[in-house]
Amino acid sequence: MPSTSLALTPGLASFLKSLKTNPIDTSIENLISLLKRRQIRHSRSCATATAYLLLRVISACRTSDPVKLIERVQSVGRRLVAAQAREMVVGNIVRRVLGLIRDEAEDDRDAEFALSEAGSESQPQTPRALDDTSFPLDRDSPSMRPDGDRSSSRPPLTSMFSLLSHPEPEASLPSTPGSASPGGRGPGQGSKDVRAEVLEGINEIIDELGQVDDQIAAYALDHIHSNEIILTHTSSTTVQKFLLKAAAKRKFTVIHAESFPNNHEATHATVSGTASSEDELMSVESFQKPLIALGITVILIPDSAVFALMSRVNKVILGTHSVLANGGLIAAAGTRVIARAAKVHQTPVVVVSGVYKLSPVYPFDFDSLIEYGDASKVLSYEDGDLVDKIEVQNPLYDYVPAELVDLYITNLGGHAPSYLYRIVSDHYRMEDISF
Amino acid sequence: MPPPSSSPTHICLLVKHISSASTMAEPVHPAPTMPFASSSSAPGPAQQSTAENPRQTQTLPIRDSKDANATNSDKAPHKGKDTTASAVGGDGAGDKALSPAELKKKAKAEKTARRAKEKLEREGPAPAVGGAPAAGAGGSQARPSATSKKDGAPGGSQKGQRAPPPRRGSVAAAQHGAAEQQKKRKEDKSVAVFGHLYGQQRRTTIAGAGKEVHPAVLALGLQMRDYVVCGSSARCVATLLAFKRVVESYTTPLGTSLSRHLTAHLSHQITYLSTCRPLSISQGNAIRALKLTIASIDPSTPETSAKATLCDFIDSFIREKITIADKVIADSAAQKISDGDVIVTFAGSSIVKETLLEAHRQGKRFRVSIIDSRPLFEGKNMARALANAGLDVQYSLVHAVSHAIKDATKVFLGAHAMTSNGRLYSRVGTALVAMSAKERAGGVEVPVIVCCETVKFTDRVALDSIVVNEIADADELVSPSPPQQVTDLPDPAAAAATAQSDSNKKGAHRAPSNPSADTPASSSDDSPLTKWKDTPNLQLLNIMYDVTPAEYVDMVVTEMGSLPPSAVPIVHRMSTNM
């Protein structure tokens, strides 16, 4: 059954399968149409698809010139983002890849500067693959690099003001030809390294996407104590893994709001432990036992009962669709009212999210981020007489302002919402923010 | 002002309810008579209860846990059993006089036996798995089989020997296993903090209702249980109208007076109603007023005139407290609506509906945004009524509260009750809407206006939604899976339909990781929750009400004027003293 449906329905699995055989342009078109038709949904699927596609794009690039690579990735990235602007992870992955290329190009140039005294291999060892948690990341990037030429090539990223001011991408581009000019002088091994390093970096990103939930789950015991009552919403794999990790050691109670029209089926499947078939398709995803199998009491409630129960809840743990640089987040509809109810009851709200969902975009118009879904989920066909007369709304997402969130837990650890801008600046380069 | 136009329609509607109630009762009637028959004619029950709806078996656990104890205690006085057994045997011979202690033991043993027998009958389907003939025999000779159990192995009485030993073993084992299993299930399924609210399961049939219960009340109880009659005022009016019929058909038995006996008679009806669904505050208030009136009737009054007085009282109570009150509230609340308003309301309150229709009738131009919730979807009817009247209606579910509230200018809410500390006790989800109105992002608060008759005021107080609430059947949350099922399409067609409308619909958030691949599979399946009662550690909670803090309510519009929520206790005292 799953195999037939896999073959029939386009999605992440079929896309990844076809990626190896199809020519690169077909794959790009394929992903664009998948995004447009919403056949790839959810942050991680989109991110994985984008990363694999960019891997193909770069490995298919005949040139090794960083400028050309950047242009190529930018053009593909623009098309992908245009296809589905609200899946912000697509843009995030593109930015990360662009950052990788720029870093490699700069490291390459640094290496040539330093070629006379130091081995060229020492510098490319520090790519901007900050996803790797083995490094103490924040200190890593500034200290490991020579600072002298850094300031000339790009503006320092330590200020939040520079983060919010949108830099024109053209202003930074002249620096890149500058960095590429050594490549022009010695087009042989140096630039070839760039491509290999970038491919390696993308593979690291893909690895990160696979591990991110487990990395986040590793913090679970720091945040969940015994006999706690935890409220969550929708069927986020990240949240489930987080809770499962804690459930292995501690006993607590989970109240699960079902997020009715859009995600209740998946939520029901998650709480009752019947979520199976779709997870087999996902190679990175070997789904684990449901919480109830570990002896955790799970109480499923309709969304409307959240306020009534909030007075007994100790902690609200939420998944998210994407996180914005200002500390706010875009999450499944209903999240905002839950976070608000938690605030009213002085209940801490914890958001678990991979760093890849962290978007450098600062939206001034929040409504533009909200996607509206199928109205027939709200009002089914049996009420067809009503459909003509009334307006039915089914928003898929909510914007949750930063002040409603108490803590973010990413694969890098726990952060206050006000600290997120700093992680953003560690992960994306200024010149790529609006690529 | 007396509105002759609106009150008759209201009452007409409710009378229709009642009359339809009596017609509805007819198909229901035959069913409950069966269990009655079953207790006397034995082989019936096993098949009968297997044929009956599975709900019947769902109600078992509560009693079974008790019975499990009974069987345990059955074992404990084993020592005494031989004596009891001999006593039973001796009873037949009629030679020995029993000591009081022995008598007590005997009575106790008989009681356990009776319980075991009842259980056996109820549990017809369960042992049938072990062996159908055994169950049948157990049914037919339930009494002896139970005695045989009581007797223990040696020296069984004649009755005991008539029951063959193997049957006893199998039945007991089956019972025990089933009881244990069901006890476990039962323990799992009530949410701990709400333990105090899981008193009794709602009545599923009218079986076992006392013979004093009037048919109109019988039917009304079922209608209230099924939410056919739903909403605080509707339930109140329907109850009063049913009680009016009770009063009309009532004759005082010899040797009592109407004022004394009718109260007792009514309390049978009330008990029955409250087993169907816990009584609403308004029902309680109405019943209290009615009982007061009954008690104040002079015993010397002739029965016919007393009954006429009571019927008049009921009519005027409905008219004053609800029909006209609704009209007054709708009038004064409609004045709060001005042109260009965006009114947000939650679920389906009849009085808010009246208010909005009244404002529309007055020619005001405004938009209504109805927020609805699972599982009752009461807002749908309201949306239909308003749309048919030509209003501009927007409909969304509770997940979209923060979107709907964004451009709201006023929030109108209905009430189930107003507590004496000024809090609003209303359909679950109301608090979320009120909170969203008060905690908006821009900092601009939206006024929250509650429309509520004073008959819904209570002297009870509530701080949270947990101490006082009503638990509805959690299975209501399970049933309505995707729209495909409701329209009753065969599965391939449903899959095709999803495929056609794929761009929006396909796997919209269907699955956590890979949504689209799963669509046909999940639509062919039932909801994964259908077996939730068999799933350990999984609980479903379906509460009916929540309590909105008083600070979220700006104004309560009643028939006595528009008040702040803090005025509720004063008005309540005034209206009950009158």
Question: Are the beta carbons of A268 and B537 separated by less than 8 Å?
Answer: no
Q: How many domains does chain A have?
A: 2
For the B14-27+206-325 domain, the top CATH level (class) is mainly alpha
Q: Give the tens place of pLDDT for each residue, B514-573.
A: 333 333 333 445 677 777 888 888 888 899 999 999 999 999 999 999 999 999 999 888
The arrangement of strands across the sheet holding B367-372 comes to A391-392, B392-397, B367-372, B342-346, B410-414, B448-451, B555-558, B561-563
Report angle CA B311, B317, B318 to the nearest 5 degrees. 95
**Sequence spans of domains, chain B:** 14-27+206-325, 38-193, 335-471+545-577
Verify that A200 and A254 share a domain, yes or no: no
Put simply, whether A306 touches B (Cβ < 8 Å) is yes
Per cent of chain A over pLDDT 90 is 23
CATH number, domain of A388, equals: 3.40.50.10470
Verify that A195 and A162 share a domain, yes or no: yes
Question: Which candidate, A290, A219, A213, A289, places its Cα nearest to that of A254?
Answer: A290
pLDDT computed for residue A270 by the predictor = 82
Contact (Cβ atoms closer than 8 angstroms) between residue B282 and residue B232: yes
Verify that A158 and A281 share a domain, yes or no: no
pLDDT computed for residue B479 by the predictor = 64
Residues 154-193, chain B: which have Cβ within 8 Å of A? 191-193
> CA B531 → CA B48, B356, B387, B472, distances in Å?
24, 42, 38, 18
Own/partner long-range contacts of A67-73 (Cβ < 8 Å, ≥24 apart) = A67/A105, A67/A176, A67/A177, A67/A180, A69/A101, A69/A194, A69/A195, A69/A198, A70/A98, A70/A101, A70/A102, A70/A176, A73/A97, A73/A98, A73/A101
pLDDT computed for residue B56 by the predictor = 41
Mean pLDDT of all residues in B292-313: 89
Verify that A228 and A362 share a domain, yes or no: yes
Q: Give the tens place of pLDDT for each residue, B222-263.
A: 888 888 888 889 999 999 999 999 988 888 888 888 888 888
Q: Confidence band (pLDDT; 50, 70, 90) for A154?
A: very low
- The residue written with tokens 């929250």 in the block is B448
B287: Cα separation from own chain's centroid: 18
Put simply, whether B367 touches A (Cβ < 8 Å) is no
- Which residues on chain B are in Cβ contact (under 8 Å) with A372? none
**A2 belongs to a structural domain:** no
Verify that A154 and A224 share a domain, yes or no: no
Query: In B127-268, where do the E strands start and end?
Result: none
pLDDT computed for residue B99 by the predictor = 62
Q: In which element (H, E) is residue A352 found?
A: strand A349-352
Put simply, whether A115 touches B (Cβ < 8 Å) is no
In whole angstroms, give the CA distance from residue B182 to residue B62. 8
Verify that A260 and A392 share a domain, yes or no: yes
In whole angstroms, give the CA distance from residue B216 to residue B23. 9
CB pairs under 8 A between A and B: 303
Q: Is the pLDDT of residue B346 over 90?
A: yes
Question: Which candidate, A42, A345, A273, A308, places its Cα nearest to that of B373?
Answer: A308
What is B335-471+545-577's CATH topology? Rossmann fold (3.40.50)
In whole angstroms, give the CA distance from residue A401 to residue B247. 59
Range in A50-54, A368-372, B17-21, B401-405 the model is least confident about: B17-21
Supply the DSSP symbol for B320: I
- Identify the residue among A270, A278, A366 best suited for mutation to test binding to B, counting B beta carbons within 10 A and taking the highest: A278
Q: Is the pLDDT of residue B49 over 60?
A: no
Q: Give the tens place of pLDDT for each residue, B191-221.
A: 778 888 887 677 777 777 778 888 899 889 8
DSSP string, A263-276: HHHHHHHHHHT---
Q: Is the pLDDT of residue B382 over 80?
A: yes
Instruction: Please name the residues in contact with B503: beta carbons below 8 A apart, sequence gap of 6 or more.
Output: A37, A38
pLDDT computed for residue B452 by the predictor = 92
> CA B149 → CA A430, B116, B117, distances in Å?
84, 9, 10
pLDDT computed for residue A18 by the predictor = 85
Polymer length in residues for chain A: 435
In whole angstroms, give the CA distance from residue A352 to residue A242. 8
Question: Are the beta carbons of A374 and B542 separated by less than 8 Å?
Answer: no
Question: Are the beta carbons of A270 and B393 separated by less than 8 Å?
Answer: no
- The residue written with tokens 């009218």 in the block is B206
**A382 belongs to a structural domain:** yes
Give A183 or A404, the one with higher predicted confidence. Answer: A404
Beta bridge partners of A359: A324
Q: Is the pLDDT of residue A429 over 90?
A: no
Query: Alpha helix (H) ranges present in A273-362?
Result: 277-281, 306-310, 335-344
Contact (Cβ atoms closer than 8 angstroms) between residue B287 and residue B335: no
> CA B336 → CA B361, B420, B453, B498, distances in Å?
14, 25, 17, 45
Verify that A346 and A369 share a domain, yes or no: yes
Query: Domain range spanning residue A170?
Result: 7-211
Verify that A173 and A319 share a domain, yes or no: no
pLDDT computed for residue B546 by the predictor = 92
Q: Give the tens place of pLDDT for each residue, A340-360.
A: 999 999 999 999 999 999 988
**A245 belongs to a structural domain:** yes
Mean pLDDT of all residues in A200-221: 90
Mean pLDDT of all residues in B338-361: 92
Verify that A359 and A423 share a domain, yes or no: yes
Give B365 or B138, the one with higher predicted confidence. Answer: B365
What mean pLDDT value characterizes chain A? 77
Q: Is the pLDDT of residue B302 over 50?
A: yes
Q: In which element (H, E) is residue A92 found?
A: helix A88-113
Q: Mean pLDDT: which of A234-238, B65-69, B414-418 is highest? A: B414-418
Range in A323-337, B127-141, B468-482 the model is least confident about: B127-141
Q: Confidence band (pLDDT; 50, 70, 90) for B575?
A: confident
Verify that A233 and A194 share a domain, yes or no: no
pLDDT computed for residue B137 by the predictor = 39
Question: Are the beta carbons of B541 and A299 separated by less than 8 Å?
Answer: yes
pLDDT computed for residue B251 by the predictor = 87
Question: Are the beta carbons of A5 and B517 separated by less than 8 Å?
Answer: yes
What mean pLDDT value characterizes chain B? 70
**A247 belongs to a structural domain:** yes
DSSP string, A292-303: GGGT-EEEEE-G
pLDDT computed for residue A307 by the predictor = 92
Q: Is the pLDDT of residue A124 over 90?
A: no
Mean pLDDT of all residues in A173-194: 46
pLDDT computed for residue B165 by the predictor = 42
Verify that A197 and A294 share a domain, yes or no: no
- Identify the residue among A300, A304, A313, A321 best suited for mutation to test binding to B, counting B beta carbons within 10 A and taking the highest: A304
**A1 belongs to a structural domain:** no
pLDDT computed for residue B162 by the predictor = 44
Q: Confidence band (pLDDT; 50, 70, 90) for B78?
A: very low
State the pTM of this model.
Answer: 0.71
pLDDT computed for residue B81 by the predictor = 41
- Nearest-Å Rg of the Cα atoms of chain A is 23
Q: Give the tens place of pLDDT for each residue, A4-41.
A: 444 557 778 888 888 888 888 888 888 888 888 888 88
Question: Are the beta carbons of B512 and A337 separated by less than 8 Å?
Answer: no
Q: Give the tens place of pLDDT for each residue, A71-90.
A: 888 888 888 888 888 888 88
Give B530 or A207, the one with higher predicted confidence. Answer: A207
Question: Which candidate, A230, A319, A336, A380, places its Cα nearest to that of B398?
Answer: A336
In whole angstroms, give the CA distance from residue A325 to residue A363. 9
In whole angstroms, give the CA distance from residue B394 to residue B456. 29
Verify that A207 and A223 share a domain, yes or no: no
